[in-house]
Amino acid sequence: MFKKILIANRGEIACRIIRTAKQMGIKTVAVYSEADRDARHVVMADEAICIGGAPSSESYLVIDKIIDAIQKSKAQAVHPGYGFLSENASFARKLKAKGIAFIGPGTLAINKMGDKIESKKLAEKAGVNTIPGHTEALKDTRQALAVSKRVGFPVMLKASAGGGGKGMRIARNEKEVREGFEAAKREAKSSFGDDRVFVEKYIEQPRHIEIQILADGHGNTVYLGERECSIQRRHQKVIEEAPSPFIDEKTRRAMGEQAVVLARAVKYVSAGTVEFIVDAKRNFYFLEMNTRLQVEHPVTEMITGLDLVEWMIRIADGEKFPLSQEDIKLTGWAIESRIYAEDPFRGFLPSVGRLSRYVAPPENPHVRVDTGVYEGGEISIHYDPMIAKLISYGKDRDEAITHMRQALDAFYIRGVSNNIGFLAAVMAHPRFVKGKLTTNFIADEYGDIFDAADVLHDDPNMLVAVAACLHRAYQERAASISGQCSGHERVVLNDWRVLLQGKSFKARVVPVAAGYDVSIEGASDPQEFHVRTDWQLGQPLFDAQINGHRIIMQVERNGPAYSLSHAGLGVDVLVLNEMTASLYELMPEKVVADTSRFLLSPMPGLLMSLAVKEGQMVSGGDELAVIEAMKMENVLKAERDAVVKTVHATPGDSLAVDQPIIEFE
């Protein structure tokens, strides 16, 4: 077995690989950019070597710098993780030439499967179901239009070297083909250095389902079941699960067998994933093959009991995988939620900054957390905004969802915006609970912006009860302060008025052993809550048994209000005495500043281009500017007809959130 391996990656996947390597008794070498000098993977590894500047083009993507680090450390093998150089055949070839093992497939598989056009041709030849389309790179917009008309709208414009949702555009008409083709080419060139784009038929109401395969160098290739990856936003996976609630045993076997056939066609060795699009009738079509470890691999590990990273390492060292297809058993259910530094209330735009608080839920047989960050660490604009992957496990899907909901409620992050509330809302959505999923789920149910008003809480009165308990606890502390004037001591009341989302509730709070009993009167019938907790003032997580059920809620005192977050809903609650409540109702509402005359930058990023100039008339839907953030292009369009009064920024400017770009008359 290898004595030392180098991880040519960063973040949570580098930490994930290091963890397995340590369990195997293998020393690890981390590489890092200047921006990652204090990163978690650097601390976890046995050795760490700096390989360049913050941009990945100056560090993690520079093959010669990685090879220099390998030679300095005398590592015998390299695990590339995912992203960066993980599917770079030139990198694998250079490692082989220097006698260094690449923990991944051979260059034949990487080359053939790394090109979406070539992989589709090979799949067709191998007898794998493929999507109708045009498998040649498009020369220009004119050809893109002609081919799209022939294939039939809607179509998908896709970068040949693409991945992670980059370089992909859905086009439902000729106008969208013109706009999408050029945008896909630019994005592909920026992300992959390859601007080839092709077109294929877009399958309506599709599911994205993938098959995990594992192949050794001794001729044994098996499939490890499927993963449902249909919950996506802008073609990027958000929630994954294994198995799929849609796939039956017959379809699973057919998809698995085709995945194995394709793997054998390119002499595949290592872990890999064959992705399929599946329609409502369980017809499935080959999408692409990822010749690397997938982000969502933990859900497969949870239901098979196999450590995929361990077997990648063992297979790279020449070991034989000991299990046959008949030995592979799928047990239970697993779900993964990707926790990103992004703001769901601002169109899911990336958020950067320092993690002032980071408290992950404790790991146990039902909860796993894969992360590359720590409290006090920084989320940089230079890399993917992922904070962590949260994985839950249960004997069935309902139990896995329950564990995920509790774990999301207990995941406490401050300092950067994050999508935990959104993920919790999805977990509680009736359509998700029923397993009625498509890749359009988020667009259909939430649109481009997550609105907390759309979140329906199971029991709003419970939030009222918790707020009343919090207020009672703070009042009790205030009443215990020494030095109060005799005869004017603070009296703690039992009866309060609670204001929540425009509604008023009467709450009676009575202290009992290990908690409170709360009775609520308000918009619905009177309700009793028996709250039992050892929560202490100032703790961010309110962990309690309420009417016999465990509830974890994030709580903060926010001036006169209490901020509560639970099950995807975040609300500010006021708890007042009767006199204060009657006076509060007379207070005027604060008028929000009018920014409708400005185009503001919705995220921190680079202004790539401006499509207008001062004095120009624009119509609703016209392109105004393009901002690049996290290697993704974001097109800003006019919301209405207007005249450009002043242009406040120029292409090449680094923009802050809400920085004015254009002012209209």
DSSP 555-586: EEEETTEEEEEETTEEEEEEEE-HHHHHHHTT
Q: What contacts 24+ positions apart, CB below 8 Å, involve 317-325?
A: 317/1, 317/2, 317/77, 317/101, 318/217, 319/216, 320/216, 320/217, 320/218, 320/220, 321/214, 321/215, 321/216, 321/218, 321/220, 321/222, 323/222, 324/220, 324/222, 325/222, 325/223
The closest alpha carbon to 262, from 249, 275, 244, belongs to 275
The closest alpha carbon to 461, from 495, 501, 512, 405, belongs to 501
> What are the tokens at 368?
């796993």
The closest alpha carbon to 496, from 522, 478, 515, 459, belongs to 522
H or E element: which one contains 38? none
**How distant is the alpha carbon of residue 182 from its chain centre?**
27
Beta strand 333-340 pairing with 654-655:
unpaired
The catalytic residue among 210, 241, 288, 296 is 288
> What are the tokens at 477?
């502390």
Residue ranges of the alpha helices (H) in 323-419?
397-410
CA 596 – CA 434 distance, rounded (Å)? 40
Whether the Cβ atoms of residue 241 and residue 337 lie closer than 8 Å to each other? no
CA 259 – CA 308 distance, rounded (Å)? 17
Which residue shows structure tokens 């690890």? 28
Omega before 460 cis (within 30°)?
A: no
CA 406 – CA 411 distance, rounded (Å)? 9
- The beta strand positions in 92-154, using DSSP E, are 101-102, 133-134
Name the β-bridge partners of 551: 544
> What are the tokens at 488?
């004017």
The closest alpha carbon to 422, from 445, 450, 441, belongs to 450
**How distant is the alpha carbon of residue 525 from its chain centre?**
40
Whether the Cβ atoms of residue 648 and residue 660 lie closer than 8 Å to each other? yes
The closest alpha carbon to 169, from 143, 148, 192, 142, belongs to 148
CA 196 – CA 312 distance, rounded (Å)? 31
Which residue shows structure tokens 């004017």? 488
CA 568 – CA 401 distance, rounded (Å)? 14
CA 520 – CA 462 distance, rounded (Å)? 9
Active site residue 375: no
Secondary structure (3-state) at 53:
coil
Catalytic residues: 288
